[in-house]
Structure 1
Amino acid sequence: MKSVNLQRTESLLMELIPEALSDLADARINSLAITGVNCKNGKYDAQVYFDGSDFDKKEINQIVSLLNKANGRLKSHILASTGWYKCPDFKFVNDTSLEKSRNIEALFAQINKNKSED
């Protein structure tokens, strides 16, 4: 169970990271959808999940690389916006849960179709 403070931090990061990304010049990442933030070790590490469903494997690797390069600018923006003393270290991860839920929905649709044919 996460503390209220940690949940508040994650929520604030969910708002500030897309805002910071939108200030960047690279079109591949400035409109990237952030789907979740999971803080670990207090506020020292955070996994940032993004929706990579529109990209192939090679593009996702490029996006992760670009996000890692922009890490310093993201931290600067967040520190300026929050007044925190320290910003978490970000690790960017492609969120595959959206793709999995689409696959499950397609499976249920197929089951429904098969039942209606019987």
Structure 2
Amino acid sequence: MTPAQIKVKRTESILKELIPEAISQLSDARVREVDVIDVHCSRGRSDAKVYLDPHDYTPQEQAAFLKLLEKARPIIEEHCMKDQGWFRSPRMTFVFDDTLKRSQNIEALFAQIAKEKKDES
């Protein structure tokens, strides 16, 4: 791992701790429900994609949460910047993580294929 990659990983780790802390301090109770799963920073650490747990939220609820978080983004970035003494915080983009749902769909497809092969035999 190069020193640049180590810095990116360190920044991601710090943000993974600071972002939920900043969200919990927001005044809107609806936003405080959202859980941060992961954070991925760009190579230059100027952008960060924040992955959120979708729970059982409907697409409309997810859109509402994303809209609220986009409004709160400057406050969250300011909190991270002040806490770490950074000159600049990565610009955050919030998205709901759907990898678990996709992996479950893939598992279901594999199970269906296995069942069809078994039925043919």
Tell me if 1:59 matches 2:75: no
Using the size of structure 1 for normalisation, the TM-score is 0.83
- State the shift of 1:98 in Å: 2.3
State the alpha-carbon separation in 2 of the partners of residues 81 and 98 from structure 1.
32
Paired position in structure 2 for 1:24:
26
Task: Indicate which of 32, 42, 45 corresponds to 2:44.
Answer: 42
Mark the runs of 5 or more structure 1 residues left unpaired by the alignment: none
The structure with the greater share of residues assigned to helix is 2
TM-score, length of structure 2 as denominator length: 0.81
Partners in 2 of 1:10 and 1:93 — Cα distance? 16
Secondary structure (helix, strand or coil) at the match of 1:37 reads strand
Structure 1 distance, partners of 2:29, 2:93, is 20
Distance 2:108 2:31 in 1: 29
Aligned residues: 116
Distance 1:25 1:61 in 2: 19
Look at both structures and tell me which one has the larger radius of gyration over its CA atoms.
2
Distance (whole Å) between structure 1 residues aligned to residue 108 and residue 24 of structure 2:
33
C-alpha deviations, 1:17-43, integer Å up to 9, x for none? 000000012222113111111111412
The sequence identity of aligned pairs, in percent, is: 45
Change in CA separation of 1:60 and 1:7 when aligned onto 2, cut-off 3 Å: same
Letter aligned with residue 79 of structure 1: M
Q: Extract unaligned runs of 5+ from structure 2.
A: none
Distance of 1:6 and 1:28 partners within structure 2: 30
Measure, in 1, the Cα distance between the counterparts of 2:15 and 2:75.
Answer: 14
